[in-house]
Structure 1
Amino acid sequence: MMYDQTRAQQPSDGRPGSAGRRTPGPEPLLGAAERADVTQRLRHALNTFSTSPLEALEEAETAFDEAAAQLMSALTERRRTLHAGWHGKEPEPQGEELRHALRQYSEMTQRLLRM
């Protein structure tokens, strides 16, 4: 069997011309600045462990607590937005609107379970 370069460059759905294109994933729950800040603090803790282990551990714990609090806040806001998008609307949402909301809840829950 010979190697088919054209076929190898096609995405798994077999559509020609869309090789290399990816469906965008879900947006991060935390903004770039928040992620960078927590990452920098954690990196600092890791780099200073050899000279001051207790302080490094406390800094890592604080970075973890801050990240967890920011994630909880982001998840609460995301839930509020999702809920407001379908609950109590007049006229009552139907078919595709409800399916879209269900898909969003499912995706968010699955992301949480993968953590």
Structure 2
Amino acid sequence: MSHNGEHTPRPRPATPRATQMPRTESAHAPREPGTSTAGPDRTPGSDLIAQGERDKLAPRLQQALDTFVDNPRQAVEEADAVFGDVATQFTDTLTERRRVLRTSWQDQDTDTQTEELRVALRQYREITERLLHLSAPAGR
């Protein structure tokens, strides 16, 4: 009788830590108006880099990777340029988000409504959590 791997129970792989984000609210908690079921950071316009720009940058990076064997220096130079473009767009988006958020609560009189402050705080939390998640080492 031969050993068939189909019948041997296999240990389940551990879930990578990167997928285990701390939750700040229950998965079954009612969602606030205007937030989708995909999460509060998936609201329209919440991309840190617009989809159209990502669609332009990804092929440039892939081209750099594909040409490495034929021209390593040029491939690395192009990868560097793509990285710079991504970093610039990312920074510009975050700077604009911060400007808009600040305007939503700082430019009002001292009697800013609690609801406006709550919305601003929620948006700060959502963006900051995304950045903290992005800053974690790969595989964690």
The alignment status of 1:44 with 2:59, answered yes or no, reads no
Report the alpha carbon displacement of residue 91 of structure 1 after superposing the two structures with TM.
Answer: 6.1
Identity of aligned residues (%): 41
TM-score (norm 1): 0.76
* Structure with the largest fraction of helix: 1
Residue in 2 that maps onto 1:31: 50
Counterpart of 1:22 (choices 37, 41, 52) is 37
Report the alpha carbon displacement of residue 55 of structure 1 after superposing the two structures with TM.
Answer: 0.5
Aligned partner of residue 81 in structure 1, secondary structure: helix
Query: Gaps spanning 5+ residues in structure 2: where?
Result: 1-26, 29-35, 135-140
Query: Gaps spanning 5+ residues in structure 1: where?
Result: 1-11, 14-20
Q: Could you tell me which amino acid in structure 1 is paired with residue 99 of structure 2?
A: R
**RMSD across aligned C-alpha pairs, in angstroms?**
2.2
Report the alpha carbon displacement of residue 95 of structure 1 after superposing the two structures with TM.
Answer: 1.5
> How many matched pairs?
99
Residue in 1 that maps onto 2:101: 82
Structure 1 runs, 4 residues or longer, greater than 4 Å off: none
TM-score (norm 2): 0.64
Report the alpha carbon displacement of residue 24 of structure 1 after superposing the two structures with TM.
Answer: 4.5
Whose relative contact order is higher, 1 or 2, with alpha carbons under 8 Å and at least 6 apart?
A: 2
